[in-house]
Copies of this chain bind each other. A is one copy, B any other.
Amino acid sequence: MSSPLLEQLIEAFRVLPGVGQKSAQRMAYHVLERERAGGQRLADALAAAVDRIGNCERCRDFSETPVCPTCSSASRDVHQLCVVESPADRLAIEQATGYRGLYYVLQGRLSPLDGIGPAELGLDRLASRLAEGEVSELIVATNPTVEGEATAHYLGQLARQYKVRPSRPTHGVPLGGELEYVDRGTLSHAFGSRSEMS
């Protein structure tokens, strides 16, 4: 190749999900040929995000402040807490439904074989939160996969331990599917028609 910097750029693009050698090459050429200003903006945005975005102390969602805007908002209903696996799931629910409660982002799901237990998902902090007594409904919106269901079962038990009512969006989200990929209408319906967990 004609430039070591270009080779490094192509290699660096491969860190992105679903980007192989050919797409990485196309991205590098595209930026250099037509989008230098946009490439510089992406470089700046990446550096700032990596440096300054951490996790909210309350909900574990991505945040550039110790407590995220949602958790510090005065207009959210503190009696409802919705547990999701990922920031993408949280965003999908926020965009698809009229939910006005708070969230708790696990940043994963229980997966004993991968060494991911309650501690790795911050469930001790979730327990303290439930112990505070403000939350009356825990909406368990983990994905309907095997691991997501096992996580939901665990969260249901945890809620009952603190006299909090656990509910789960059940209808509509296809088994094995992920919230993030479900269309808005389906997700909104599933969320609205959630039922108490047994």
Residues of A within 8 A of B (CB): 1-6, 8-9, 11-13, 15-18, 23, 25-33, 35-36, 38-50, 52-53, 56, 61-64, 68-70, 86-88, 90-91, 107
A42 and B13 contacting across the interface, CB-CB below 8 Å? yes
Smallest Cβ-Cβ distance to A92: which chain B residue: B25
Q: How often does this chain occur in the complex, in copies?
A: 2
**Which of B4, B29, B56, B107 is the one whose CB lies under 8 Å from A86?**
B29
Known contacts A12-B42, A47-B43; is-contact A53 B32 (Cβ 8 Å):
yes
Q: Give which listed residue, B9, B27, B91, contacts A1 with CB less than 8 A.
A: B91
Do B16 and A31 touch (CB < 8 A)? yes
Is A30's CB under 8 angstroms from B50's CB?
no
Q: Is the CB of B30 within 8 A of A17?
A: yes
What are 22 A-B contacts with C-beta separation under 8 Å?
A1-B91, A2-B56, A2-B61, A2-B69, A3-B64, A6-B49, A8-B49, A12-B42, A13-B42, A15-B35, A16-B42, A17-B27, A25-B91, A26-B88, A28-B49, A29-B88, A31-B49, A32-B50, A33-B86, A33-B107, A43-B46, A43-B47
In the bound complex, what is the Cα–Cα distance between A64 and B32 (angstroms)? 12
Given contacts A29-B86, A49-B9, contact A15 B41 (CB under 8 A): yes
Chain B residues near A41 (CB-CB < 8 A): 12, 15
Whether the Cβ atoms of B27 and A64 lie closer than 8 Å is no
A3-B64, A5-B64, A68-B2 known; A39 vs B30 contact (CB < 8 Å):
no
B15 near A42 (CB under 8 angstroms)?
yes
List of B residues within 8 angstroms of A25 by Cβ: 88, 91
Cα distance, A42 to B36, chains bound together (Å): 15
